[in-house]
Amino acid sequence: MKLRLLEVGLEAASTTNPLLDENGQFVKPDEAVKNFATLWKEWDLWNSFLAALPKIILAVLIVVAGFILASLVSKLIIKGMKRHKVDFAVYNFIAKMVRFIIRLTFVLIALSMFIKINSLIAALSAAGVAVGLGLQDSVSQFASGVQILINHPFKAGDYVEVGGEGGFVSEIGFMTTIITTYDNKRVIIPNSDITKNRIINFSAEKTRRVDLTFSISYADDIAKAKDVVMQTALQNEKVLKKPLPEVYVAAHSSSSIDLACRVWCNTPDYWAVFFAMQENVKLAFDEAGVHIPFTQMDVHIVEPK
């Protein structure tokens, strides 16, 4: 009776009875011992899992809470910095950093319930050194991103030129900076390339000077042509009156007299002024009878004596 109860209990605990073989016959004593040892290990793992289950559930809750808290804190940071009119690139970068640090902290807290946190930190430090040596370029890009935010050579929305690429700054990330060109192309530049190259920020100042060149014929009245260019500039509403526009004779070219025109405007109006002046000066020249010469060459034929 006792043996039958043991068999029933073992069958309930495992699909294989350690005392019986596949045909239902009793196995040899040494095989039965091995089967019992295997069954004991299975039960031991199951009991260990049941014992650790509350910790596992608590660890998962801690991680979930950490991720939720990280999102809330990053949103509060973004909201607060927007209220104080902080640049988008700056608060976006800081929000990402804070979110990453909070998430990492809660993950480490959850792991500390199963392993010694000091040992984990030591292992992570050793792994960090090894990974850092293999990812020197990535570390350099990250450091360059921090440097860009500290030195603040440009902000989101500025029109910049870096390494021959020009466009509006869309985002400054951990590793790269994204700019959008005038024809709506997206250019991704590694941060390390930005700090190593010359940066031209066309939006840094409120006003910009527009430099223009207009050519007239040698037969035209220079004073009249200068006055036409000046009046055209003054009639443009986007051209600033302080400082006043300037018109000079810039050069005596092979086929023309070149007039240099310098006008000032608000930075966002630069291209509007540039294109308007090119068109309006040509129309004003036509109306005033001032000629824009074509490239020409005088050929002198010398007859032999």
pLDDT digits (tens, 9 = 90+) for 204-215: 899 999 999 999
- Average pLDDT score over the chain: 80
Share of the chain above pLDDT 70, in %: 70
Closest CA relative to residue 247, chosen from 255, 237, 236, 258:
258
Question: What's the pLDDT score for residue 7?
Answer: 46
If pLDDT is split at 50, 70 and 90, which confidence band does 159 have? very high
Could you please state the CATH topology (level 3) that the domain comprising 1-134 is classified under.
Helix Hairpins (1.10.287)
pLDDT digits (tens, 9 = 90+) for 53-110: 788 888 889 889 989 998 898 888 888 877 766 666 666 777 888 888 888 888 888 8
User: What CATH number has the domain spanning 154-201?
Assistant: 2.30.30.60
pLDDT (average), residues 134-151? 71
Question: What's the pLDDT score for residue 216?
Answer: 94
DSSP letter string, 202-264: TTSSSEEEEEEEEEE-TTS-HHHHHHHHHHHHHH-TTB-SSSPPEEEEEEE-SS-EEEEEEEE
Cα–Cα distance, 154 to 288 (Å, whole number) = 45
pLDDT (average), residues 140-157? 78
Q: Coil, strand, or helix at residue 265?
A: strand
Region of residue 17 (phi > 0: left; psi between -120 and 50: alpha; otherwise: beta) = beta
Question: What's the pLDDT score for residue 45?
Answer: 58
pLDDT (average), residues 6-22? 49
Question: What's the pLDDT score for residue 294?
Answer: 79
Q: Is the pLDDT of residue 134 over 70?
A: no
pLDDT digits (tens, 9 = 90+) for 166-199: 999 988 877 888 999 988 999 999 888 888 888 9
Question: What's the pLDDT score for residue 46?
Answer: 59
Q: What share of the chain is helix, strand, coil (3-state, %, to 5)?
A: 55, 20, 25
Of residues 118 and 287, more confidently modeled: 287
Domain 1-134 shares a fold with domain 154-201: no
User: What CATH number has the domain spanning 207-288?
Assistant: 3.30.70.100
Cα–Cα distance, 192 to 195 (Å, whole number) = 5
Domain ranges in the chain are 1-134, 154-201, 207-288
Of residues 20 and 101, more confidently modeled: 101
Q: Which residues contact 74 (CB under 8 A, 6 or more apart)?
A: 95, 96, 98, 99
CB 19, CB 13: distance < 8 Å: no
Question: What's the pLDDT score for residue 3?
Answer: 44
Closest CA relative to residue 280, chosen from 246, 234, 248, 241:
234
